[in-house]
Amino acid sequence: MLSIRSASFALAFAPRRIIASSSATTKQQTARSMTATTTAPSTKPLTLEEHSPSYASLLDKLRTITHLNHASSVLNYDRQVFMSQTDKTSTARGKQMATLATILHEKSTDPEIGTLIEKAMEDLNDLTTSCDDEKKVNEEDLKTAKRILELEKRDFNKRLCIPSELAARKAKLEASANHAWVQVCVLLVFMCVCVCGCLVMICRKCTHDMFII
C-alpha cells in the first residue's frame, strides 16, 4: 500500500520538477546570453562626435545658433504676413529683431567656436590616420564632419568681420524698409485703381457720345 502511494506521489510531482528544472535552465541561458552581449565588443562604426568631445560641443553650439535663426525667421514671417502694417508695430518689431540679431551674432562669433573647430579638425586627422581594422570608423560620417568643419570655419571667419552693432542695425533697417515698401505698394495699387476707373469712365463717355452721334 505504501509503495502505491509513493509511486502516485512521485508521478503527481514529476511534471512540476521537470518544469522547474527547465525554467531554471532557461534563466541560466538568458543570463549567459546577456553577459555575452554586454561583454562582447561593439561592431558599430565609430563617429567623430563619439571620438571628439570638441566636435560634440561644437555641434551643440551650432544647434543653438540654428534655433535662434529659426526664431528670427518666424518673427520675419509674422511681420510680413500677419502683423498689422503700422508705424508703431513696425518700430516694435524692428527693435525685437535687432535684439535677437545682436544675441545671434554674439553666439555665432564666440571665440570658443574657433577653438573647438581647430581641436575638432585635429581629432578628425588623428582618427583618420590612426584607424585600424579593430577600430572601424564611419567613412560617411567623417566626410560629413570634414565638410561641416570646413564650411563652419569659413562662415565663422566671415562673421568675425561684422560688428554686432552693424548686425543689429541691419535687422532694424530691414523691418522699417519692409514697412515702407508695403506702404508704397498700397499707394501704387490705389493709384492704379484710380487710373483704371478714370479710363473706364472716359471709355464709357466716348462710347455714349458715338452712339448719340
| Beta strand extents in 105-161 (DSSP E only) | none
pLDDT at 37: 44
Of the two residues 109 and 176, the one the predictor is more confident about is 109
More confident residue, 50 or 6: 50
Quote the CA–CA distance of 186 and 114 in Å, as a whole number: 47
Cell of 39: 561583454
- In this prediction, residue 127 carries a pLDDT of 84
List, in order, residues 6 or more apart from 65 with CB less than 8 Å away: 104, 107, 108
pLDDT digit string, tens, across residues 62-96: 999 999 999 999 988 888 888 887 888 888 888 88
Mean per-residue pLDDT, 44-58 = 87
pLDDT at 152 over 70: yes
Question: Which of 10-14, 80-84, 166-170, 197-201 is least confident?
Answer: 10-14
Angstrom distance (rounded) from CA 189 to CA 178? 16
User: Residue 13: is its pLDDT beyond 50?
Assistant: no
pLDDT of residue 148: 93
**pLDDT value for 166:** 87
Is residue 179 over pLDDT 80? Answer: no
| pLDDT computed for residue 170 by the predictor | 83
CA distance 18 to 9: 15
Per the CB < 8 A criterion, the answer to whether 176 and 90 are in contact is yes
The DSSP string of 51-77 is H-HHHHHHHHHHHHHHHHHHHHHHHHH
What are the beta bridge partners of residue 46?
137
Per-residue buried b or exposed e for 130-161, using 16+ beta carbons within 10 Å of the residue's own CB: ebeeeeebbeebbeebbebbeebbeebeebee
Distance CA 95, CA 109 (A): 21
pLDDT of residue 208: 58
